[in-house]
């Protein structure tokens, strides 16, 4: 489905992911791809490539689990303070272009706004405080409180129960394609990804989901998008 095919009169809820969707993923990329490996290499007196391999192996082992996103797990696994490491790059935490105006528009339209995130609670709260967007949400559903990550179907069952969300009347915007696939299986048909979660990287591609290039294009009741997107 493309954005232009949304029947806004039927929509009462919009669910947003946080990192890579509303927030630029550049912060997280710098932490996990650069600062964390450097800290691990220094601590264990190994080269940066060996440190990256340790992290990559653990990421692969914990893919699609809560551990993948847990600061507690990573702090224990690497014997490093992940919270302290993230604090060093707080200045990189920022909203994606168009995120706040979009939240303002949707909030004023009377739609229910829900934040659904896998982020560790400490990370989530810090990012919400820095960006000031907590006020826009009627519900905040954190995977660590629910007990399942968004790639797992029980997450969406619990979200629906807790928020009284009707999936047939819901839009989900998330940069994680695995999350979009799970949500679609659970009944959310209006699922959209993000073309450039990290503003410093190239655009991503998908044949399964429409990827939003600019959040400014999303408007309740009206969607503006390039005409060549209708063929996707």
Instruction: Read off the DSSP letter of residue 19.
Output: B
User: Residue 48, Cα to own-chain centre: how many angstroms?
Assistant: 28
Asked whether 216 and 226 are in contact (CB, 8 A), the reply is no
* CA neighbor of 123 nearest in space, from 85, 158, 149: 85
DSSP conformation letters of 98-155: THHHHHHHHHHTT-EEEEEE-S-HHHHHHHHHHHT-GGG-SEEEEHHHHTS-TTSHHH
Q: Which of the residues are catalytic?
A: 10
The residues, ordered by sequence, that sit 6+ positions from 189 with a Cβ below 8 Å of its Cβ are: 1, 167, 168
Scan for tokens 């699922």, then name that residue.
191
Phi, psi of 230 (to 5 degrees): -65, -15
Only one residue has tokens 């209006």, namely 190
């Amino acid at each position: 489905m493309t954005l232009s095919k949304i029947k806004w009169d039927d929509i009462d809820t919009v669910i947003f992911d946080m990192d890579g969707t509303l927030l630029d993923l550049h912060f997280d990329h710098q932490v996990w791809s650069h600062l964390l490996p450097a800290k691990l290499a220094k601590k264990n007196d190994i080269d940066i490539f060996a440190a990256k391999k340790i992290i990559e192996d653990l990421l692969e082992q914990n893919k699609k689990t809560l551990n993948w996103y847990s600061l507690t797990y990573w702090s224990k696994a690497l014997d490093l303070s992940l919270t302290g490491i993230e604090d060093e790059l707080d200045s990189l935490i920022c909203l994606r272009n168009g995120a706040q105006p979009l939240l303002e528009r949707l909030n004023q339209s009377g739609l229910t706004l829900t934040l659904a995130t896998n982020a560790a609670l400490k990370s989530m709260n810090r990012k919400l405080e820095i960006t000031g967007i907590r006020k826009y949400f009627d519900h905040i559903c954190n995977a660590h409180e629910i007990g399942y990550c968004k790639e797992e179907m029980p997450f969406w069952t619990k979200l629906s129960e807790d928020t009284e969300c009707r999936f047939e009347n819901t839009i989900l915007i998330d940069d994680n394609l695995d999350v979009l696939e799970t949500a679609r299986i659970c009944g959310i048909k209006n699922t959209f990804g993000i073309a450039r979660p990290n503003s410093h990287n190239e655009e991503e591609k998908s044949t399964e989901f429409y990827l939003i290039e600019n959040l400014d294009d999303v408007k309740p009741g009206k969607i503006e998008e390039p005409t060549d997107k209708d063929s996707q």
